[in-house]
């Protein structure tokens, strides 16, 4: 009797697992038309966008060396896009800013004059990047 009970329980468990697997499989197949359309849209290949040159000119080659077939070669040493700030220029600007802070702390410069100079430096910082980019682009 024990063997028959064990076999009966095993058969019932197996049948229940098969039924659960079938129910889960069938539940996955039941999608609304909107869900099917969204799934198809996600799987669709993207459409190609063809960009035309704005000025009608051929693209210019960069400063990199190029092989005969037109591909860039990266063997040559790269150079900076713009001239870097020298140590003398950096120390000069640092001295100017330090002197301005010292004048403010000592009270030899008015708050309005200090704010004017700070605004001047901030304007230089804001416009310098745009000027440099325009020089690089040309």
Q: Which domain holds residue 130?
A: 110-138
> Is residue 134 in a domain?
yes
Q: What is the pLDDT of residues 51-94, one digit of tens each?
A: 666 665 655 555 667 778 878 777 776 666 666 777 888 888 88
> Is residue 116 in a domain?
yes
Q: How far is CA 54 from the centre of its chain?
A: 25
Q: Could you give the percent of the chain with pLDDT greater than 90?
A: 4
In this structure, what token pair is assigned to residue 51? 């960009």
> Is residue 127 in a domain?
yes
Q: Could you give the percent of the chain with pLDDT greater than 70?
A: 78
> Is residue 39 in a domain?
no
What's the whole-model pTM score?
0.34
* Whole-Å CA distances, 5 to 1, 12, 18, 82: 6, 10, 20, 86
> Is residue 123 in a domain?
yes
Q: Average of pLDDT values for 38-47?
A: 82
The 3-state secondary structure of 109-124, one letter per residue: CCHHHHHHHHHHHHHH
> Is residue 50 in a domain?
no
Q: What is the pLDDT of residues 103-124, one digit of tens each?
A: 888 888 888 888 888 888 888 8
> Is residue 41 in a domain?
no
Q: Quote the CA–CA distance of 138 and 128 in Å, as a whole number.
A: 16
Would you put residue 107 in left (φ > 0), alpha (ψ -120 to 50) or beta? left
Contact 62, 72 (CB under 8 A): yes
- The total number of structural domains in the chain stands at 1
């Amino acid at each position: 009797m024990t063997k028959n009970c064990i076999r009966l329980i095993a058969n019932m468990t197996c049948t229940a697992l098969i039924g659960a697997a079938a129910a889960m499989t069938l539940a996955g197949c039941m999608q609304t038309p909107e869900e099917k359309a969204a799934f198809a849209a996600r799987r669709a290949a993207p459409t190609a966008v063809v960009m035309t040159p704005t000025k009608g000119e051929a693209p210019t080659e960069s400063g990199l060396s190029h092989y005969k077939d037109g591909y860039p070669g990266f063997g040559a040493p790269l150079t900076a896009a713009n001239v870097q700030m020298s140590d003398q220029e950096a120390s000069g600007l640092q001295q100017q800013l330090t002197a301005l802070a010292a004048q403010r702390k000592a009270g030899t410069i008015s708050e309005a004059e200090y704010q004017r100079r700070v605004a001047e430096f901030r304007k230089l910082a804001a416009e310098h990047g745009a000027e440099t980019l325009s020089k690089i682009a040309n």
